[in-house]
Amino acid sequence: MSTPQTDTQTAAAPNTTTDTARSYVVDRFMKYCEISSQSNPLTAENVPSTKTQFEVARLVADDLRSLGAHEVVLDDHCYLTAFWPASEGAEDLPTLGFCCHVDTAWQSWGNPTRPQIKRYEGGKLVIGSDPDGKEVYVSNKTNPQLKHMVGQDIVCSDGSSLLGGDDKAGVAMLIALLKRLKDNPSLPHPRLALAFVPDEEIGHGAALLDLEKFGADFGYTIDGGPLGEFCYETFNAAEVFVRAKGLSVHTGTAKGAMINAAEAIMKFHQMIPAQERPEYTEGYDGFYYLERMSGECEKAAADYIIRDHDKALIEKRKQTMRDAAAFLNLQYGEEVLTVSDHDQYYNLADVITKPEYAHLIENARKAYASVGSEMKCIPMRGGTDGSQLSFRGFACANLSACYYNGHGVREFVPVSELEAMVDMLQYLVGLYAQP
């Protein structure tokens, strides 16, 4: 197995507090982060839900072409696919697939994005200020991992937006891997199939990826947290839509006649177990999460997501919400509240734990060890494109993208972890160059 390479740029990075020349993977990561590409659940009927995702995809497509990737295609729905030919002697081995997403989270400020590099010297790492002028910082209290990062460079935003490490760090890692393979043709690897997809953050993700053309039966998504994190278990996930229809009557004569839809939604929410919200749960605990709500007297709406690792328990959550609506409707004496649901994805473990996919776990473990990192298998409290893809026939577990504090302005990515993952991927594709 060849020794991992270090790829550096000759120019120092702008927006950096250090004089260190930045590596190729850091350079591409920051370029991708500069483009705001949040998905939007309110326009989810369109794919992609936002046109800015095309801007990132076009930049990545240009990078793929400049490196020499084959069959680079960006379609009308912002699905970008490409292939990398096998090294000599590995042409007849199965194609190994990788998938990342080009959108970023919609739940926080995301435009404009101003990535920067900060040298962490201990104590509180001040990132900048949020749009309201409040200081944004990361500390050992919020992130105990910082004690191991003293003296290291860290990529973050200026505090006015999220960074986008979820999942642009994963995108940059894949592009940097291809540069390694281009610069060092003797590095062993099978044929690689690469997919960069839109709208993962709103549950759409890889739904329209043509798996027959993609041509890989197994592989990895790169969309996880700190270095060493590995996921083959995810939540089962569903959306629940609660709607209320009221009756407006002049407030002066409303007694016994008015039905306030907004209040009906409030009563409904109070019946959902408060202790089972995300802020009170961890590990294998499932939850109910109120994503958004709106309303007035005659109509109101609340959209929830519910999660559980156990299929039976998520069905129980759906029933709890139906029962709450039925109870309130009984009080109102008519159907004021309606509840509908939609399954988003299922637990990845149902596929990856099959014996024929054990290599996905064991090869990842070896590849992490090659960069001095112990693999940590976690039950992901969310999902990845891998959940959806695995049930469609492309079995894929999830690797680190090395971001911390995702979906918020305190998000950051350590440079050392970003670079180590490129070494890890080089080793991993080398394992799949063996029969």
* pLDDT single digits (tens) 256-266: 999 999 999 99
282 within 8 A of 382, measured Cβ to Cβ: no
Considering the candidates 63, 200, 341, 419, report the single residue annotated as catalytic: 200
- Residue 1's SS3 state is coil
Given 27, 103, 411, 423, the catalytic residue: 103
pLDDT for the residue numbered 388: 86
Map out the domains of the chain as residue ranges. 24-118+150-233+348-432, 236-345
Structurally, what CATH architecture does the domain formed by 24-118+150-233+348-432 represent?
Answer: 3-Layer(aba) Sandwich (3.40)
For residues 392 and 424, give the distance between their C-alpha atoms in angstroms, rounded to a whole number. Answer: 27
Pick out the chain residues at pLDDT < 70: 1-20, 383-384
Structure confidence at residue 385 (pLDDT) = 83
pLDDT at 5: 54
Q: Is 200 a catalytic residue?
A: yes
Record: fold of 236-345? Alpha-Beta Plaits (3.30.70)
- In the prediction, which pLDDT does 43 show? 94
pLDDT of residue 7: 62
pLDDT value of residue 384: 66
pLDDT reported for residue 380 = 83
Count Cα atoms within 13 angstroms, Cβ side, for 103.
28
Over the stretch 301-314, which tens digit does the pLDDT of each residue have? 999 999 999 999 99
Residues 6+ apart with CB under 8 A from 290: 269, 302, 303, 304
pLDDT of amino acid 16: 43
Number of Cβ within 10 Å of residue 339's Cβ equals 19
